[in-house]
Structure 1
Amino acid sequence: MTLKAILAATTLGTMATGAVAQNFDGVSFGVGVTNFGLSLEGEYAVSPQVGVRGMVMGGLSFDDEFDIDDATVDGEADLGGVALLADFYPLANAWRLSGGLFFSTSEVTGTVTDGLTTYDGEINFKNEVAPLLSTGFSTEVASGWSVSGDIGVIVSSLEVSSDDNTGTVQADIDELNADLEDVPVVPFIGVAVSYSY
């Protein structure tokens, strides 16, 4: 290899290393837990007061009885979702306000019993893509390591559905959904540990 080729390779290698370091500057990755399951998170600090964040949640599944208004669902809940958020730190400290979109992958399936009416059904978010609003914190606890937390709401009610098209079942579903619309939000809670590059 000629001296010219060695110098060119060294220069390109140095530029590539600098580009990689620059690309990861202000980026953090984390793991956590939310009321929709375990979470993987990535965040990019646009400025000291503004960040963008993505979360993938899931892995939480359990069998139980769930009360929906006056009805009981005996079935399985599979919880999960994806969130894309913008974080604003108004005081340039640990406190933040966040807003964005939640894409639900959650589903509850089972047997619905409401009085004398029983049928197989599902409960999902009425809006599979819904606004997510939260407040929380992100604070550094060691060099590069941070702990964060969020509490907020997903702006969507829940909705019952069934493949059973009999009049009695559909009337019961309509009544349940009318009651569920009175609660237009679903709680969101999460904590995470992350590492910043």
Structure 2
Amino acid sequence: MRRCIALVLFGLCLAGSVTAAEDVNRFSAGVTGGTLGLGAEVGYAFSPRVRIRGLAAGLDASHDIEPDGQSDLRYDADVELRNAAALVDFHPFTGNFRLTAGVIASDNSGDGSATCRQTLCNFGDGTDVLFQGDRVDVDVEFADDVHPYLGLGWSSTPESTGRWRLSIDLGVTYLGDPDVDASLSGPSSGIFLAEQEVENEERNIEDDLEDFEFYPVVMIGAAYRF
């Protein structure tokens, strides 16, 4: 991770050594939205081909989740996205196509709860181990708070003369391994078999979340240059 941050800082220093464009509209500020959340973005054009950007985005969402396996439970889940990114854009050609690299600092998390609403509920990898009224609470976090980003996109070049700049980002960031913590309360709480199935349920949810270990980034933005 330190190497990734060092490479980004080196890119910024290299960009700063290039003669800046004669365009007075080097600064930009605008809005952005996508899989990192909704937020704001600022930028500065170092040269005709290089721009740096900083963005902050977040989103709160609710979703019903049914984990894989033999569980009858359905979770009412709340997801919080909190992301801040430092990015370097490089236009290798004269057109709008660009390559982007940087780092993303995240504080993304989720929590959910599920209650057995029938006489007996399948749970974890077992069968009929929870009673009516048993409740499972789950907290989810990802291991890495700062992670690398690589992508491509399209936007006006730093040397273009228009005041408004539209942009599209397509890329991927590595979130790390998910960490799931589940707890049981209700009539089955303290029963050894039920507590063992709590651990199985944690693994089931972690397996589901492994698909997001490499998280796709799709963002669309609009910025005003000044």
> Deviation of residue 41 (structure 1)?
0.5
Residue type at the aligned position of 2:60:
S
Which of 96, 109, 113 lines up with 1:107 in the alignment? Answer: 109
Q: Which residue of 2 aligns with 1:65?
A: 64
Q: 1:107 to 1:184 in 2, by over 3 A?
A: closer
Looking at structure 1, the residues matched to 56 and 28 of structure 2 have their Cα atoms a distance apart, in angstroms, of 15
Q: Spell out, residue by residue over 1:37-73, the C-alpha distance to the aligned partner (whole angstroms, 9 max, x if none).
A: 2121011111111111111001x22222135554753
Aligned equivalents of 2:146, 2:68: Cα separation in 1: 24
- Matching of residues 122-161 of structure 1 within 5 Å: 122-139=139-156, 143-157=162-176, 159-161=178-180
Match of 1:121 in 2: 138
Q: Which amino acid aligns with 1:123?
A: V
Separation in structure 1 between the aligned mates of residue 140 and residue 170 of structure 2, nearest angstrom = 23
Offset at 1:164? 2.9
Which range moved further: 94-103 or 111-120?
111-120
Q: Give the length in aligned residue pairs.
A: 174
User: Could you tell me whether the CA contact under 8 Å between 1:138 and 1:147 is conserved in 2?
Assistant: yes
Identity, % of aligned positions: 28
Q: Which has the higher strand share?
A: 1
Alpha-carbon offset, residue 30 of structure 1: 1.1
Q: Distance in 1 between matches of 2:153 and 2:35?
A: 15
Structure 2, unaligned runs of 5 or more: 1-23, 116-120, 125-134, 185-194
Q: Which protein has greater RCO, CA pairs closer than 8 Å, 6+ apart?
A: 2
TM-score by length of 2: 0.65
Q: Give the TM-score normalised by structure 1.
A: 0.74
Equivalent position of 2:53 in the other structure? 53
Structure 1, unpaired ranges of 5+: 1-23
User: Cα RMSD over matched residues?
Assistant: 3.0
